[in-house]
Amino acid sequence: MRIKFWRRSKSVAIDSNSGYNVRVQTKRKAPRTPAPGHSESTEDHLERIAELVEHKGYARVTDVADELGVTPSTVSNMVRRLAARGFLNYEKYRGFSLTPEGRAVASRIKARHETLTALFGLMGLEPETIKQEVEDIEHHLRPQTLEVVAKLVSYWNSHPDQLQAFLRYSRRKQANDRREDDVL
């Protein structure tokens, strides 16, 4: 008789015919599909570094830490990893600057951020809502999705009458939904 059960991430098999020999086998986890491109943290750091360099002409660990709300040691570790990946030029106890590859990645991140900000702005969301929504979803969009969003932003900018038609529809729909909720 063979009894098999799972406990957390281990498979335990007990074979009673052989005097209760116990085998413990670690359950294999499904392979994680790697995120396309870079991690959220990598992108956040590159985005803030590029913004600081653009506004101040330089970036320091303490500035990046303040902007991201993390500790300076967290930023130092990330800066070392970004330098190892070829995104930053970094000298310990000095400063750092973006490499051409780092600037290219930061530029794509900035364009994505601006596209989403423009979309939500056109839709009439409040600035604080826009900021939070963009931060929440910007790292989770595939390039194809972002391309479609950019086309929609461009279309609405080129055809403001269509944007206004959408906004009127949205307001009517919202009013109807409220009335239905009041009835229930």
Sequence spans of domains, the chain: 40-104
Q: Which fold has domain 40-104?
A: Arc Repressor Mutant, subunit A (1.10.10)
pLDDT at 167: 93
pLDDT for the residue numbered 53: 87
Distances, alpha carbon 96 to alpha carbons 27, 41, 80, 118, 130, in Å = 43, 18, 10, 31, 30
Residues 6+ apart with CB under 8 A from 24: 10, 11, 12
The answer to whether residues 61 and 48 touch, using CB atoms and an 8 Å cutoff, is: no
pLDDT at 35 (0 to 100): 38
Cα separation, 73 vs 135, whole angstroms: 23
**Cβ distance 1 to 7 under 8 Å?**
no
Taking CA atoms, 18 is separated from 24, 66, 67, 157, in Å, by 15, 63, 63, 75
CA distance 63 to 144: 33
pLDDT for res 147: 95
Q: pLDDT at position 158, please?
A: 97
Distance, in Å, from the CA atom of 150 to the CA atom of 26, rounded to the nearest integer, reads 46
CA–CA dist 50, 136 (Å, integer):
20
Average pLDDT per 10 consecutive residues for the chain, totaling 184 residues:
50 54 49 52 90 87 92 92 91 82 92 95 94 89 93 96 94 83 70
- Determine the pLDDT at residue 14: 54
Cα–Cα distance measured from residue 141 to residue 121, given in angstroms and rounded to the nearest whole number: 18
